[in-house]
Amino acid sequence: MSPAQRHPTLADVAERAGVSPSTVSRTMRGLTSVSPEVRARVERAARELNFAISRQASSLVTGRTGVMAVLVPTLDSWFMGAALSSLGPLLRRAGMELTVYVVPDLDERAAFFERLPARRNADALLVFCFDLTSEETTRLDDLGMPVIYISQHVEGRPSVYVDDVAGACKATRHLINLGHRRIAFAHTTNARGFSFSSRERLLGYQQALTEAGIPLDDDLIVTTPPRDKRGTTQAVGNLLSLREPPTAIFAEQDELAASLILSLRTVQIEVPERISVLGFDDQLMAEWLDLSTVAQSPADMGRAAAELALELINDPGADREQHIVLPTHLILRGTAAPPQSPQGEQEISGQPSGTARPI
């Protein structure tokens, strides 16, 4: 059987190029010991024979798989989609492939950490948005490969994230500077893997209030299950039933902010005339809704994590405890404005006060 009638081998390429099989191997691995003239001959022969070296064969020589793995709690989120999409071009340029492990529930999570399927199947692992136990973190330490944590700060391990505390503090200060003193904080419960950011954003909100001398009020902190219209309606009802309702709400995510705006407008509470709303993320929906928000870039986070992983793969001496902190930016749009004047001042000025139907 001729080479054209079967899958070409390394020996076939060597014969056509007039070199030894070991020279073909060195060329395919990108080693600099091969001269440009010989490299050109080998690459031409490989193209003519439609030859491609298998990853299995390559890994036997280099000890690498040519694969980067990611561990995620879900694929059903704006953040995850944007971050993973940014990995493709970078990994293609590096000649690597991507393997995704999704562990959406406790059973699959336990199975992953018991088997650690990435151990022999990847050169590095990117861990997205997980609140890991100390046992799970130690388990990943035993993988024997670079493990990079994304959207979370993990002490003593390479991490890429934004400063959620600073971003939330920036957002809350903006509302304070507009004149708001009754500012609520809305966050989600049971969000798969995202509670690290939620806790940090709550801390930033509280820090800004304390700096401004505004007492903390637990009644102004409301929680709702993610993507739960009824839960959001109840949270809004709790806020509006307070003796002193808030004049502004800072939501930990744009999706939650959008749901809050819908619930408020359903009961004829105009945004921002009666209550200002400010989000966090700067998803595409934020621009559509003219939502003021704190912008972060999951695409930049994904790229930075992949670049760090490649550095750790290729340089054993690289810093394996470095943290990369990316900036956030306050995006001012139309859902945040100074608070309405008190009832008495409205009547003096002749401006009608807003009305609302009870929830």
More confident: 251 or 359: 251
pLDDT number for residue 6: 58
**H or E stretch including 188?**
strand 183-188
Confidence of residue 249 (pLDDT cuts 50, 70, 90): very high
- The residue behind tokens 């995620």 is 72
pLDDT number for residue 82: 92
Residue 192 pLDDT exceeds 70: no
Confidence of residue 42 (pLDDT cuts 50, 70, 90): confident
Confidence of residue 54 (pLDDT cuts 50, 70, 90): low
Q: What is the CATH number of domain 67-162+299-325?
A: 3.40.50.2300
More confident: 189 or 62: 189
User: Quick check: 150 and 83 in contact, CB under 8 A?
Assistant: yes
pLDDT number for residue 12: 85
User: What would the two tokens of residue 119 be?
Assistant: 């151990």
| Residue type (1 letter), 218 | D
**H or E stretch including 23?**
helix 21-28
More confident: 345 or 171: 171
Q: How large is the angle between the packed helices 78-85 and 298-314, nearest 10 degrees?
A: 50
Q: Going by DSSP bridges, is the β-strand pair 329-331/292-295 parallel, antiparallel, or unpaired?
A: antiparallel
| Residue type (1 letter), 274 | R
Confidence of residue 53 (pLDDT cuts 50, 70, 90): low
Whole-number percent of the chain with pLDDT over 90:
51
Pick the CATH number of 164-297+331-349 from 3.90.1150.10, 3.20.170.30, 3.40.50.620, 3.40.50.2300: 3.40.50.2300
Stretch 3-14: mean pLDDT = 70
| Residue type (1 letter), 237 | G
pLDDT number for residue 32: 66
Q: What is the CATH number of domain 3-53?
A: 1.10.260.40
- What's 253's DSSP letter? S
pLDDT in tens, 81-132: 899 999 888 888 888 889 999 988 888 888 999 888 887 788 999 999 877 8
More confident: 200 or 341: 200
- The residue behind tokens 């505390």 is 165
Confidence of residue 342 (pLDDT cuts 50, 70, 90): low
Stretch 296-310: mean pLDDT = 94
pLDDT in tens, 22-38: 887 777 656 667 888 88
65 CB contacts (<8 Å, ≥6 apart)? 55, 59, 120, 121, 122, 123
Cα dihedral 296, 279, 154, 83 sign: negative
pLDDT in tens, 198-241: 889 999 999 999 999 999 999 999 999 888 889 999 999 999 99
Residue 358 pLDDT exceeds 50: no
Q: Is 184 helix (H, G, I), strand (E, B) or coil?
A: strand
**H or E stretch including 88?**
helix 87-93
pLDDT number for residue 96: 87
Whole-angstrom Cα distance, residue 312 to residue 158?
10
Whole-angstrom Cα distance, residue 324 to residue 309?
12
pLDDT number for residue 354: 41
Domain boundaries, the chain: 3-53, 67-162+299-325, 164-297+331-349
pLDDT number for residue 359: 33
Q: ∠ at Cα 256 (170, 160), nearest 5°?
A: 55
> Do the first three CATH levels of 3-53 and 67-162+299-325 match, i.e. the same topology?
no
Edge to edge, the sheet with strand 323-326 lists 97-102, 67-72, 124-128, 147-150, 159-162, 323-326
Whole-number percent of the chain with pLDDT over 70:
86
Q: Going by DSSP bridges, is the β-strand pair 221-224/248-251 parallel, antiparallel, or unpaired?
A: unpaired
**What's the mean pLDDT when you consider all of the chain?**
85
pLDDT number for residue 343: 42
Q: Is 126 helix (H, G, I), strand (E, B) or coil?
A: strand
